[in-house]
Structure 1
Amino acid sequence: MAGRTGAVKDKTGTGAAPEVRPADALWRTPTFRQLDARLDALVGGRTATQLEGLRLRTVGDLLHLVPRKYFSGTELSDLSTLQPEEEVAVLAEVRSVRAHNLPSAGQHTGRKPRLEVVVTDRRGYLTLTFFGTPHLIRYWQNDLQPGARGIFAGKVRVFNQTLQLAHPDFVILGDDGTVVGGAARNEDMAKITGSALVPIYPQTGKLRTWTIGSCVGLALDAVAGRPDPVPEAVRREAGVVELGEAFRAVHQPQDRHRADEGLERLRFDEAFALQLTMARRRADAAAHGATPRPRRSGGLLDAFDARLPFVLTAGQVEVGDLLFEELARPTPMQRLLQGEVGSGKTLVALRAMLAVVDAGGQAALLAPTEVLATQHRHTIARMLGDLAEVGTLGAAEHATGVVLLTGSLGAARRRAALAEVASGTAGLVVGTHALLSEDVAFADLGLVVVDEQHRFGVEQRAALSAKATARPHVLVMTATPIPRSVAMTVFGDLETSTLRELPAGRAEVTSVVVDVRRQPTWVDRAWDRVREEVAAGHQAYVVCARISSTAKDKGPAVSDGDGSGFVPEDAPPAAAVEDLYAELAAGALSGVRVEMLHGQLPADEKDAVMARFAAGETDVLVATTVIEVGVDVPNATVMVICDADRFGISQLHQLRGRIGRGGHTGVCLLLTQAEPGTPARERLTAVAGTRDGFALAEVDLEQRREGDVLGSSQSGRRSSLRLLRVLDDADLIAQAREIAVRCVADPVLADDPGLSDIVTDVERRAAGDWLERS
């Protein structure tokens, strides 16, 4: 590296090497050997800015950028897989070269010189077109001789119905895989091609694979000799190689076995970092004392139980007893409660909340949307009756207050709600993200319940918990069944309980996929079925993927959903609530009481619409996914989901769970234009084929991978996982969890500085992502 003091440019001005600072200066920087050193200290500001387009900001980010694939010296790319507008790097063989408009000595043709090159994978062909001065045309022509092999990078275009790369960057490789020529040649190219395998990196329009490889080479040199943060004993137990060796094996592999060894270490590091952080969090929670909240006889909870008009399921009793036991301990409960749609999780949580109120504390329920928070408040108040009317003449003995706190409350109502929370008059507080506001103060917060945890992150849980004087107990709920591998990854700081048994009285719900294109008469039949259910005294939901057709989005980006929809490029716009409401009210459902509901309505109007529907004053509710969770109208028996292929499996399962809740059989009609055999249609077939949410969760994970299953709120990006795939790497995650638990329990390893750095990095990234989202 010595002597490299500036940018090295190729002869065309494209494919420039990174700006490089003198090596001695790098080594003199004390913090440079750390993987979290910023890239501009290594490659210069211009290149660092380009790398940021790939979410690469630090030396560690760069070294963890795994090549998309590796080329051997004899392995050509499959050109048949290329798609228009795709940024590609292909290894191909030159078949023919032809120069056009080259002037003779002293002559000018008046037309721009160009070079046309045809490359092949020995099955198909791809055209390369270069423009430049006569000197450059001849220079390139000298490198691009028939039979030469090279890597060619650029954007695939269509010209005269033929795929081509216009003026691609390229390097020509010798028989040993080293660079011997090309339009992107520079002295660092040997670093990515001097091994038996050539790594090909993800790239952007301005940042080619060899430029990234050159930066990686600098990073490898810079961290050489850095101590491995993972102690040798841990590496030996995990069966992985040393970190520096792993980086070299991944980026400069001598064979695929060595590359796989390096990748296995990086995958283990990712799993171990997560599990070590979770284990530290569990240990930290256990080390902080919580105020015990033992169940008290003869109080609010017993009065509530005595009024229940039904018998609790065995699962509800079992989980409830476990929660009471953990609430009575002097260490904070940290538990995840997952269960089927309609399995009675809210009732289990409410009983735990009442036990805390009996013990002198307060309980807060955090919900992801105002509609759900309002529904929870109404449901709790209805179930408690006069037990929720503290301070009134008709209040029962042991009564408490139930307060709703959301962002849309008016100033006067908000002040009143804050006062009840601060004074302790409100034993039960239900709200949205508004509960996290700085002006919300509790008298004695003893239990935090987080509903639909997939909509929140760990930091939001922590922000609400921080409002308690002592560490509060935490109960997290989700009606989206979570595969064990996902639970270990995302909820590893929580113990898990599951409710599978449905309460008595749940009716059968039949689901039918309606092909709108091939079965247009079935759509008319769907509206007839809605009218028939209404005539029988029942109610219906109609769900749309978006709110308004005036927005440019096809949906569901403008809906109230979680962004898990799937919108093909050629898909027609999805049905919108506002349009379909007007159409149905004036047409197929004329004479039927129809209303609409979506997240952009004023809060008071949303409350009024839901109240009328719940009271049976509305027959049909045309809505977005604001009714996905928590809405309980037992009289609803039919649901029509328009453009059902725009929703994910878990969302469809949640939506379907809104019907069949009152003992009446139900039907869910999944309207779609998705073609048979497509992944979208397969999702709908899976949903129609079973009501087992746990089975659907596995299908969901297989189809969408964990980035979508977890949701952006869990990760701050499409997926926080770089290399791990929770479906494929469940065993590795379980192994990492076991090792992490032993590390935290070991007095020596618990204070190991390298392991502490690992946890600090994970926590820093998580906090940074949450701040970006907030």
Structure 2
Amino acid sequence: MTGRPEILFPLFAGLDTLDGVGPKTSKHFEGIAVTKPRDLLFTLPHSGIDRQKKDSIRNAIAPCVITVEVEITAHHPARAKGRPYRISVDDAHESFQLVFFHARSDYLEKTLPVGQRRVVSGKLEVFDGVAQMVHPDHVLAVEKANEIPAYEPVYPLTSGVTQKLMAKAVASTLSRTPDLSEWMDKALKTREDWPDWHDAIKAAHAPETNADLGADTPARQRLAYDELFAHQLTLALARTATRKKKGIATIGTERLQARVRAALPFSPTGAQERAIAEISTDMAQEIRMNRLLQGDVGSGKTLVALMSLLITVEAGGQGVLMAPTEILARQHLEGLQPLAEEAGVVLEILTGRDKGAQRKAKLKALSEGNIHILVGTHAVFQKDVEFYDLRLAIIDEQHRFGVRQRLELGEKGRAVDILVMTATPIPRSLALAQYGDMDVSVLDEKPPGRLPVKTALVSTSRLDEVVDHLDRAMAEGRQAYWVCPLVGESEVVDLTAAEERFKHLRARFGEGKVGLVHGQMPPADKDAAMAKFVSGETKLLVATTVIEVGVNVPNASIMVIERAEIFGLAQLHQLRGRVGRGAAESTCLMMYQAPLSETAQKRLKTLRDTEDGFVISEVDLEMRGAGDVIGTAQSGLPKFRIADLERNAGLMALAQQDARVLLADDPKLETERGIAARVLLWLMEQEKSIRLISVG
């Protein structure tokens, strides 16, 4: 099956092949991301209207939608242009009026003749003491009343698409929807008591009460699961494709690792030991490693990275550690250097700054195997950079790295093991959605000796007190960060805020004691300002959020975040993580401008009450939604139509497990269930993954 299966053709035809949709109206549907019948299938109603017939409007509480049988008693044509045409009607107990604007009287006399009975359904309102229904949604002869659904689903709309048109298009799509073979694991389906796919789709579009619209109804659960399963199947296929490429078994001798352990002033945490063991097991196999190391701020990822790199060196290979910026690359170098020396390992850095003879010498040493571990930026992937025997690539802070780039990285032709590190704790469901093709190690313990950071909320009206507090702390030799607010979407506006604050603080503390870094600075100036702060020459660093990731200054023990209520939870947590790295007790002052909105209050209180990044990330997900937590634009996060990452975390884990089991039993998807799963992949527009099946 190389192309789309024929059974799905009707769902991928033009929208104008549906009842009631012409070439012109089909364009309007694009406003709700519907370009073919298949998209309508997965555009479910979000609410509904009860249209069960009542005998009278007597007990109705207006405004409300009501359906009643009435007798037409009189017509009152519009007295002047722009005035409404009114029709008096009686139900079993009450009289009210039907109101029409810009209606033709001959049409109304024919549709609603005096003395006849009709069933009307629409919104009942009271205007000037008179009950009225303006432009009823339905007016039908009594014998046709059953054409009005007892409960009418309400769909998302866009300009040019009415509920009527939507209902007609959906009905037309459902009438051409084929019965598809079951791709779900039978035992799972029985255990969850989920309907067949076709029945689930029909039920989801035909709710009978408000309860049927809930995400936890069997039909919607099943459809959400299908979406997650297709996504996880794609990731599992990507994982299999990566693993098919022969790896090299890299087995360490523990000789160099033992030297580092002996030099450590503390024992690694249980979480670090577990991660190191998982990584060394992966590396010892002849399958390429593709692992994510997820650790909270200060959980000790650097040590795990070093131990992994040492396994490579012990086995006679080389390792590379890539960071997104030069500042971070240099910091990794400083962090690793003393321990690498203990182990007697040659560690070198390569960035865009290396030019001419110096660069040539490094490249020669690298290609001859005289450099064991290389630290660098993306510069390490330029054509002329050749390794003697590269076994392990560690990518730091690449939550901006999608599945595609990870596959490309593996295609450097060598059987390189890949370890991706992130300091951004990601809620479980998002980690599975974004990194489901990888195996995950989590560092969820803090190394001994890391003191908790005291967090306090301070109103901006107490700015002077905060500045006095800094004055005293700096006199004792302590260093501090002052992070300025995100004023607008543009770095340029944020810059003004940072520059103003910098001038104000420099005037107070004197020239030379206060530094400034922001995103608009040339990299060399930024590095210079950071270097002065790291060396302790400047005591206070005023910054925009450029310092959010990775900067390590153990002596800095105070973090002031101005207008903290504007920042996101994850960002505040990352910023706070810049302090508490040394021996001194650290504080984080979150300055807010009163009054605080309810959500801002919840955010700041969450931070004050916990330092656990995973707890914080779950609250963040619940408050902001999945797209925003990772930033949809660069997240590689799939867009689901039915599944909801906040609510369906459990389903996502189930889907991942199921997808991996299916592929282990049927790697080419050739069994009956495998072929059904291929149809699902086509249905969910995951054609790319179909190609992965034929790879290798």
The two structures have a TM-score, normalised by structure 1, of 0.71
Cα 1:359–1:266, aligned 2, differ >3 Å: closer, same or farther? Answer: same
Is 2:381 the counterpart of 1:403?
no
Q: Is the 8 A contact 2:400 2:635 kept in 1?
A: no
With 598-607 and 378-387 compared, the bigger mean Cα shift is at 378-387
Q: Counterpart in 2 of 1:533?
A: 473
Q: Is the 8 A contact 2:495 2:544 kept in 1?
A: no
Is 2:452 the counterpart of 1:495?
no
Query: Which residue of 334, 344, 365 maps to 2:290?
Result: 334
Query: Which residue of 617, 622, 629 maps to 2:542?
Result: 622
Residue deviations 1:323-364, cap 9 Å, x none? 223212212223332223111112211321233244344434
Cα 1:652–1:220, aligned 2, differ >3 Å: closer, same or farther? Answer: same
Cα 1:175–1:450, aligned 2, differ >3 Å: closer, same or farther? Answer: farther
Q: Is the 8 A contact 2:458 2:592 kept in 1?
A: yes
Alpha-carbon deviation of 1:265? 2.0
Q: Counterpart in 2 of 1:264?
A: 221
Is 2:694 the counterpart of 1:754?
no
Alpha-carbon deviation of 1:115? 7.3
Q: Counterpart in 2 of 1:212?
A: 166
Q: Is the 8 A contact 1:507 1:660 kept in 2?
A: yes
Alpha-carbon deviation of 1:670? 1.1
Q: Counterpart in 2 of 1:51?
A: 29
Is 2:633 the counterpart of 1:706?
no
Query: Which residue of 47, 50, 54 maps to 1:69?
Result: 47
Residue deviations 1:559-614, cap 9 Å, x none? 59xxxxxxxxxxxx989543433442454544562222222222222222221211
Query: Which residue of 122, 127, 130 maps to 1:150?
Result: 122
Paired with 1:213 and 1:644, the residues of 2 have a C-alpha distance of: 47
Q: Which amino acid aligns with 2:157?
A: Q
Q: Is the 8 A contact 2:345 2:372 kept in 1?
A: no
Q: Which amino acid aligns with 2:310?
A: L
RMSD: 4.8
Paired with 1:267 and 1:355, the residues of 2 have a C-alpha distance of: 42
Q: Counterpart in 1 of 2:231?
A: 274
Query: Which residue of 580, 590, 593 maps to 1:670?
Result: 590
Q: Is the 8 A contact 2:317 2:390 kept in 1?
A: yes
Cα 1:385–1:666, aligned 2, differ >3 Å: closer, same or farther? Answer: closer
Alpha-carbon deviation of 1:272? 2.1
Q: Which amino acid aligns with 2:350?
A: V
Q: Counterpart in 2 of 1:687?
A: 607
Alpha-carbon deviation of 1:137? 11
Q: Is the 8 A contact 1:634 1:659 kept in 2?
A: yes
Paired with 1:141 and 1:613, the residues of 2 have a C-alpha distance of: 82
Paired with 2:162 and 2:378, the residues of 1 have a C-alpha distance of: 43
Q: Counterpart in 2 of 1:23?
A: none
Residue deviations 1:362-419, cap 9 Å, x none? 434444x42xx5323333255326969xxxxxx99642432235xxx69879986995
Paired with 1:725 and 1:319, the residues of 2 have a C-alpha distance of: 30
Residue aligned with 1:356, SS: helix
With 719-728 and 202-211 compared, the bigger mean Cα shift is at 719-728
Cα 1:39–1:542, aligned 2, differ >3 Å: closer, same or farther? Answer: farther
Residue aligned with 2:418, SS: strand
Is 2:33 the counterpart of 1:33?
no
Residue deviations 1:181-240, cap 9 Å, x none? xxxxxxxxx7xx6x4321111122333333332222222123244555557676446532
Paired with 2:304 and 2:477, the residues of 1 have a C-alpha distance of: 31
Q: Which amino acid aligns with 2:121?
A: R
Q: Counterpart in 2 of 1:10?
A: none
Paired with 2:405 and 2:618, the residues of 1 have a C-alpha distance of: 27
Residue aligned with 2:199, SS: helix
Q: Counterpart in 1 of 2:404?
A: 459
Is 2:566 the counterpart of 1:594?
no
Q: Which amino acid aligns with 2:37?
A: V
Residue aligned with 1:53, SS: helix
Is 2:250 the counterpart of 1:293?
yes
Paired with 1:429 and 1:488, the residues of 2 have a C-alpha distance of: 30
Residue aligned with 2:351, SS: strand
Paired with 1:706 and 1:359, the residues of 2 have a C-alpha distance of: 41
Residue deviations 1:139-183, cap 9 Å, x none? 99979x99953279xxxxxxxxxxxxxxx9973366999899xxx
Q: Is the 8 A contact 1:365 1:448 kept in 2?
A: yes
Q: Is the 8 A contact 1:73 1:175 kept in 2?
A: no
Q: How does 1:185-264 map to 2 (within 5 A)?
A: 195-225=149-179, 227=181, 230=184, 235-236=189-190, 238-254=192-208, 260-264=217-221
Q: Which amino acid aligns with 1:355?
A: I
Q: Which amino acid aligns with 1:245?
A: D
Paired with 2:507 and 2:139, the residues of 1 have a C-alpha distance of: 68
Alpha-carbon deviation of 1:444? 4.5
Q: How does 1:76-115 map to 2 (within 5 A)?
A: 91=65, 102=78
Cα 1:100–1:399, aligned 2, differ >3 Å: closer, same or farther? Answer: farther
With 195-204 and 673-682 compared, the bigger mean Cα shift is at 673-682
Q: Is the 8 A contact 2:238 2:437 kept in 1?
A: yes
Q: What percentage of residue pairs aligned between the two structures are identical?
A: 33
Q: Which amino acid aligns with 1:456?
A: F
Residue deviations 1:61-80, cap 9 Å, x none? 2211111112221599xx99
Larger relative contact order (CA 8 Å, sep ≥ 6): 2
With 129-138 and 692-701 compared, the bigger mean Cα shift is at 129-138
Paired with 1:204 and 1:138, the residues of 2 have a C-alpha distance of: 29
Residue aligned with 1:202, SS: coil
Residue aligned with 1:335, SS: strand
Residue aligned with 1:456, SS: coil
Q: Is the 8 A contact 2:454 2:587 kept in 1?
A: yes
Q: Is the 8 A contact 1:334 1:475 kept in 2?
A: yes
Cα 1:677–1:297, aligned 2, differ >3 Å: closer, same or farther? Answer: closer
With 373-382 and 57-66 compared, the bigger mean Cα shift is at 373-382
Cα 1:355–1:746, aligned 2, differ >3 Å: closer, same or farther? Answer: closer
Cα 1:357–1:749, aligned 2, differ >3 Å: closer, same or farther? Answer: closer
Q: Which amino acid aligns with 2:346?
A: A
Cα 1:612–1:58, aligned 2, differ >3 Å: closer, same or farther? Answer: farther
Alpha-carbon deviation of 1:734? 3.9
Residue aligned with 1:455, SS: coil
Alpha-carbon deviation of 1:743? 2.0
Is 2:665 the counterpart of 1:725?
no
Paired with 1:733 and 1:443, the residues of 2 have a C-alpha distance of: 41
Residue aligned with 2:198, SS: helix
Q: Is the 8 A contact 1:241 1:261 kept in 2?
A: yes
Question: Greater Rg, structure 1 or structure 2?
Answer: 2
Alpha-carbon deviation of 1:632? 0.5
Q: Is the 8 A contact 1:197 1:253 kept in 2?
A: yes
Residue deviations 1:279-302, cap 9 Å, x none? 444444444321122214555x56
Residue aligned with 2:582, SS: coil
Query: Which residue of 372, 379, 386 maps to 2:332?
Result: 379
Paired with 1:526 and 1:384, the residues of 2 have a C-alpha distance of: 37
Paired with 1:148 and 1:424, the residues of 2 have a C-alpha distance of: 87
Paired with 1:136 and 1:532, the residues of 2 have a C-alpha distance of: 87
Q: Is the 8 A contact 1:377 1:403 kept in 2?
A: no
Q: Counterpart in 1 of 2:92?
A: none
Q: Counterpart in 2 of 1:512?
A: 456
Alpha-carbon deviation of 1:636? 0.7
Q: Counterpart in 2 of 1:161?
A: none
Paired with 1:175 and 1:201, the residues of 2 have a C-alpha distance of: 26
Paired with 1:607 and 1:91, the residues of 2 have a C-alpha distance of: 65
Q: Which amino acid aligns with 2:659?
A: A
Cα 1:448–1:34, aligned 2, differ >3 Å: closer, same or farther? Answer: farther
Q: How does 1:569-648 map to 2 (within 5 A)?
A: 577-585=497-505, 587-591=507-511, 593-648=513-568
